[in-house]
Amino acid sequence: MAPRDVPKPAPQQSLSDAAACQLDSEGRLQLSGRWTALGLGDVMTPLSQQASPSGQPLQVEASQILALDTVGAWALQKLLLRLGAQDAPAPLIGLPTGFARLLSEVADQLAPQPQIKPIAATVPKRVEALGRYVSQHLAGLLDQAHQMLSFIGECTQVLLQSVAHPGRWRWRACLFNLRSAGFDALPIVGLLSFLLGLVVAYQGASQLRQYGANIFVADLVGLSMLREFAPLITAIIVAGRSGSAYTAQIGTMAVTEEIDAMRTLGLVPIELLVLPKLIALLIALPLLTVFADVLGVMGGMLMATVQLEVSVTEFAERFVKAVSVTSYLLGLGKAPVFAAIIVVVGCFQGFQTRGGADSVGQHTTRSVVQSIFAVIVADALFSVAFSALDL
């Protein structure tokens, strides 16, 4: 059997090559030897205790360093930082170029990193918070106004096409909406109009009695009811009663995807759902306004008879003189505009419904609020226009 070669032990590093440091006669720190993981040896202890004798930065001479690795560079950089001043390393001279590159990389790793101060969350000022709130809601209002204008344009286009082709009108749906929005609303419209006429006459009676102008209660009741109160109160009642029903009906169909099914079948939802309601309410609201005029005047006549001792004959004679046909037609002419506002707003909010039943409720509430607001604004604009035209 051939003898094996016994591996020879690695040669031990000579003590003269070990890392060393000492002060020379000129006050500089002389470094020598192999500054490596194996060569540092026992020099780490004196290195950790080494300090500048005068407290000033001490020059370090490194021309006699034979080898340098990462461990040695780390120890050397720590020594330079200890001997330096104000976080600046002590001056190092004589280090070979190849070693200087490694020492520079280690120095970059040991350099103190700048502390990033967290940005304190500043509480926005009241004006800034108000501005953000207004800008967000203003953007939402502008977007909704743009969608509303698009919806109005689409409804107008469908209406003109239907006028050109009367055979496509859904007369049964129109008659159904005429009954539900018109005939079924007669009790509530008549009752509120009658009570409103009573209130107007009662409030005016106390003032007219002081000046002996009892007969002018006919002027007060007739002009206020026919020009303002009857069209306005009728539109508000219909907006809360029928406008909300339009939104709930179309919104429920949107949630259950019935409207999407109509589009899939090639049907126009506006022609089927919006146009019959618009035609029916354009007919029903003026008729309801006439009914409200009659009941409101009757309520004022009754209160005039009871409070001011103005007979029915006297009231009727003065009413004919005080209220002209123009005043009557001005009040009646508001009704179609109010009807168009109620139908457009109610149906638009119905088509905007998304999600589930909660969204239907939200858009129904929004429909009633926006319809009543738009009706009152339109009535104010009518008043300004009539005053400018001296009507």
How deeply is 282 buried, as exposed, middle or buried, from its count of CB atoms within 10 A (0-12, 13-18, 19+)? middle
Rg, the chain, Cα only: 47
H or E element, residue 5: none
pLDDT of residue 57: 63
> Which CATH number, 3.20.20.210, 3.30.1050.10, 3.30.750.24, 2.30.110.10, labels domain 17-110?
3.30.750.24
pLDDT of residue 218: 87
Mean of the per-residue pLDDT values for the chain? 81
pLDDT of residue 339: 94
To 10 degrees, the CA torsion angle through 365, 369, 371, 376? 160
11-15, 137-141, 212-216, 371-375: least confident range = 11-15
pLDDT of residue 281: 93
> Is residue 232 within 8 Å of residue 376, measured between CB atoms?
yes
pLDDT of residue 85: 61
| CA 235 – CA 223 distance, rounded (Å) | 18
147 vs 373, higher pLDDT: 373
Q: How many CB atoms lie within 10 A of CB 333?
A: 13
pLDDT of residue 2: 42
Instruction: Please determine, for residue 371, whether its predicted confidence score (pLDDT) is greater than 60.
Output: yes
In the chain, domain spans: 17-110, 158-388
Q: Write out the two tokens for 48.
A: 């950790």
What does the pLDDT average to over 126-135? 80
Q: Which alpha helices (DSSP H) does the chain contain, by range?
A: 44-49, 70-83, 97-110, 126-164, 171-181, 186-210, 217-224, 230-238, 244-255, 258-264, 269, 275-307, 312-322, 325-351, 357-388
pLDDT, tens digit, for every residue of 267-323? Answer: 888 888 899 999 999 999 999 999 999 999 999 999 888 888 888 888 888 888 888
Q: How many CB atoms lie within 10 A of CB 172?
A: 9
pLDDT, tens digit, for every residue of 338-369? Answer: 999 999 999 999 988 887 788 888 889 999 99
To 10 degrees, the CA torsion angle through 69, 72, 78, 84? -90
pLDDT of residue 337: 94
pLDDT of residue 3: 43
9 vs 298, higher pLDDT: 298
